[in-house]
Structure 1
């Protein structure tokens, strides 16, 4: 055998660069389902189901295209992890070389490198062409002396790909319309939210559901409300649905949150395209081009269009570049030396804090929460509650269907927890309960009151926010972006500050009980 092509669970497209030059007479495709991929973090049932169903559908596509394929299903082999399966199968086939597209997980890359080394085989790792900025290009950009800020990178990418550009200037005269995309809902809440696209749960996915319930019965979350695309056709349906029904209103309330028992209330006007993008069912370039075309054709609001493109062309590419630039050190980052354990209710939602309860309830139901729920609810609380960053990062990797290490780790460590000390952000993302009250209706039915800091009814977010400012006052005073927030401490005398710290310590000592 000439080549064994290893295809991973987040590389599910026939344009996979590892398949370039494939020869059906001499080469073989290898795909493996391994139990460890669902247990190295305690993965949500919907996340497991999404990956397995998408993989099995892609295997079917490969077979229909007559690719020689060896596919190992969970339950049909004895190998617990990818490494042991690879070692056994590569020993069996004894290829001249192993080819893979760049993995999205440093751990998986190292396992494959170790396997190739053990077998004394040449490993070829090809650039992942489903990103618009290669690792080498990002490293060059990062080495040009600029601050590692998404704003600068985003401008570079807009110019490079001529996206939303009028000559050398941005369409509309501004690079970002973020300030127009932060509105909360009125007291009546969101109105006329488009429904989620529906498609049939076919026999492949039904079999996956049965396997998940049989093999991972105690894992968190549920699959009763599974609604995620598992094929390219379904992913294209989600893209078309977003453009046709949601994009026009996407920008206005993209940071807002609302308590609801309906799927539409959970998803609001968000695209739900992160998981098909991360599985490579969609290419970011085709998504951006479709959005631009709709902007021109349908005269859509520039703030919505630019806000969405910034997420794909800017933040997504920026985060991926930083992951590979900073690994493996990123995984151990702990700027504040936080060591507290993740509260048990992160897995159940059984807390008196309604913002956390609603976000976690939604997460366990769908494997989904939008970026503000992740950043300014579950993530911000992890920072203020001084939880060990690795435990928080592992939780995010476990519970969200779109979670791949390259995207989840830098977002958690760098954005939500500021655990790398501001390597690519200008400040910690912190706020009191007043922010959550302004951006949602969560506080209306909460046991705590967001404007209270020290009483029995004091909001834990508010208490811990002021405690964080007191604890890190000198550092925050030296940061122009946190200066005004820290100056608010001047409202309190020493006795009031002591009361806040005392109440905060009570909260921190009983995180499982709040």
Structure 2
């Protein structure tokens, strides 16, 4: 018998356990006993239900390392709770989480379950359908977040169609509410943000620490073997898996950032390097989004470093702004807009396209588990496309070499790790897609399955909003696009590329610049009134007719080149 199954059977609940304990369902992204229902009574009075669902894992070609880190943390969390004295009902199911819980509750005569409101809309919907069919489940507020829905609506009011939301107002409100980096009701250092100090390129000014590694134990090795066999057609690889899968390792991982990376995080958080892909980023988003690390704990730890002078204020504030500000802001935007579905009446929509499927039988099987045949898929993602982008996402995102060193480097990292830091996500991967007019929905879905830290509440507002401007400016005051100049300034990518970033047209020129100018030209009817684009449009209007023709030609060549490669199957 496999090691995990042998160990977990010792916690299998008796009829008395079921009758006399409080039973809690643990969503697949909330592995914590420090807050919430698991912290509210003694372990001896508690039982938990965990569902390991193949239907969920088959629903998208999730990165193999995402499946490993999620399932291994799930199994280790079950054993950690068993060791505390909690009764654990760990259930393997081919069905969706909601259907599995309904069948389990009926077959084992489970009392009504308690559950923190799941972070993913997809899981909330799945459980809602199961409740309509008889699942007895009580939702309670999720205390792992650093803010509440009321915090958001007190700043902006209820969601209103057509308005824009600026994160700065929300961030200031949360700083004031929590008192983080505040003194006498004023921000420490006299400013709420030090973003202007955090935009330096990295030129080997300081040594880059080697991040800690966490070699797989026997349980994780079992998960790796299972993922390689069961999900062989999925994106990415399990090679060199070294992410934390226990609570103790998650905490060690976080302490390393505090002790060795935070001090230089701020100045270089926007820098990109092909020889130091992680630089000083914490890479803790995967653990934060699984509940292994709690947002307010991280925020307070970093604030303490600022207060003691152990790390520069700008570095500490930059990290806190990402967690207390942007992360919380994005999840509220997703919740308030029902995953951007409320935008359909006032933002142009991208027409649906049948996705490529490398394993149609299993994909269909997973779809059936979520949306019965003959009915519209209620889980289908929103498709806003304010700029009319709809071209298919090209093969470069699946690792086919394009000749663009920045793209090829970052995609190779994603295939290997299931991760890259936020500027490579925004200014390389999303920048190219936005400039070319690739489908925002396809890009969103790619991020969803390709990244270990990706869930619907993360990727949909970030990609459909800030990264591609598909939401028409709901979350960003302008499209975040650039030509080659930005990439050259903030990275060493261009020095190792066949294309010349200083040339915008002709053979050997970097296509990013031609794509940038043709993007502005193509979208001028929508964007010309944007005050933040006044200077770029003035520069565009000064270009001669001859240069504009050359720019269009170079951009068309670049898009045709990217489209010329066949997208591979989901494989290593």
Query: What band does the TM-score fall into relative to the shorter chain?
Result: over 0.9
Query: 2 CA distance for matches of 1:411 and 1:148?
Result: 13
Matched, 1:429 2:480: yes
Matched, 1:222 2:237: yes
For residue 147 of structure 2, what is the aligned residue in structure 1? 133
What is the aligned counterpart of 2:290 among 257, 264, 279? 279
In structure 2, the CA distance between the partners of 1:43 and 1:167, relative to structure 1 (3 Å rule), is same
Matched, 1:155 2:198: no
- Is the 1:113–1:123 Cα contact (8 Å) retained in structure 2? no
What is the aligned counterpart of 1:40 among 49, 59, 72? 59
For residue 263 of structure 2, what is the aligned residue in structure 1? 248
For residue 193 of structure 1, what is the aligned residue in structure 2? 208
For residue 178 of structure 1, what is the aligned residue in structure 2? 195
For residue 48 of structure 2, what is the aligned residue in structure 1? 29
For residue 530 of structure 2, what is the aligned residue in structure 1? 479
- Is the 1:29–1:69 Cα contact (8 Å) retained in structure 2? yes
Moved more, 345-354 or 242-251: 345-354
| 1:367-386 equivalence runs, <5 A | 367-386=418-437
For residue 11 of structure 2, what is the aligned residue in structure 1? none
TM-score (ref. length: structure 1): 0.93
Query: 2 CA distance for matches of 1:487 and 1:125?
Result: 53
| Cα deviation, residue 349, structure 1 | 4.6
In structure 2, the CA distance between the partners of 1:26 and 1:183, relative to structure 1 (3 Å rule), is closer
Query: 1 CA distance for matches of 2:202 and 2:252?
Result: 28
| Cα deviation, residue 28, structure 1 | 4.1
For residue 374 of structure 2, what is the aligned residue in structure 1? none
In structure 2, the CA distance between the partners of 1:510 and 1:68, relative to structure 1 (3 Å rule), is same
| Cα deviation, residue 21, structure 1 | 5.0
Query: 2 CA distance for matches of 1:283 and 1:26?
Result: 24
What is the aligned counterpart of 2:317 among 306, 317, 324? 306
In structure 2, the CA distance between the partners of 1:256 and 1:496, relative to structure 1 (3 Å rule), is same
| Cα deviation, residue 217, structure 1 | 1.8
Matched, 1:341 2:392: yes
| Cα deviation, residue 371, structure 1 | 0.4
What is the aligned counterpart of 1:416 among 467, 484, 488? 467
Query: 2 CA distance for matches of 1:275 and 1:201?
Result: 17
State the Cα deviation string for residues 117-172 of structure 1 (Å, max 9, x = none): 112x4432111101121123323322089952111111100000001112121111
What is the aligned counterpart of 1:97 among 96, 106, 112? 112
TM-score (ref. length: structure 2): 0.83
- Is the 1:45–1:220 Cα contact (8 Å) retained in structure 2? yes
| Cα deviation, residue 294, structure 1 | 1.7
- Is the 1:449–1:459 Cα contact (8 Å) retained in structure 2? yes
Query: 2 CA distance for matches of 1:22 and 1:383?
Result: 50
Query: 2 CA distance for matches of 1:349 and 1:194?
Result: 31
The unaligned stretches of length 5 or more in structure 2 are 1-17, 342-381, 566-572
- Is the 1:470–1:497 Cα contact (8 Å) retained in structure 2? no
Matched, 1:60 2:75: no
Query: 1 CA distance for matches of 2:32 and 2:241?
Result: 22
Query: 2 CA distance for matches of 1:333 and 1:155?
Result: 29
For residue 387 of structure 1, what is the aligned residue in structure 2? 438
Query: 2 CA distance for matches of 1:472 and 1:220?
Result: 33
Query: 1 CA distance for matches of 2:400 and 2:187?
Result: 43
- Is the 2:50–2:89 Cα contact (8 Å) retained in structure 1? yes
| Cα deviation, residue 474, structure 1 | 4.2
Query: 2 CA distance for matches of 1:215 and 1:475?
Result: 46
What is the aligned counterpart of 2:181 among 164, 167, 171? 164
What is the aligned counterpart of 2:305 among 294, 303, 309? 294
- Is the 2:396–2:407 Cα contact (8 Å) retained in structure 1? no
Q: 1:33 aligns to what SS in structure 2?
A: strand
Query: 2 CA distance for matches of 1:290 and 1:480?
Result: 39
| Cα deviation, residue 458, structure 1 | 2.7
State the Cα deviation string for residues 211-247 of structure 1 (Å, max 9, x = none): 1111112322222222222222112112211111111
Query: 2 CA distance for matches of 1:296 and 1:132?
Result: 20
- Is the 1:355–1:443 Cα contact (8 Å) retained in structure 2? yes
Matched, 1:258 2:258: no
| Cα deviation, residue 20, structure 1 | 5.6
State the Cα deviation string for residues 25-68 of structure 1 (Å, max 9, x = none): 88742211122333322111111110011101100012112222
Alignment: residue pair count:
503
Q: 1:100 aligns to what SS in structure 2?
A: strand
In structure 2, the CA distance between the partners of 1:147 and 1:409, relative to structure 1 (3 Å rule), is closer
State the Cα deviation string for residues 415-450 of structure 1 (Å, max 9, x = none): 111110110211110100111111111111212222
In structure 2, the CA distance between the partners of 1:285 and 1:10, relative to structure 1 (3 Å rule), is same
State the Cα deviation string for residues 95-120 of structure 1 (Å, max 9, x = none): 4423211112111111101001112x
Query: 2 CA distance for matches of 1:96 and 1:38?
Result: 27
Alpha-carbon RMSD: 2.2
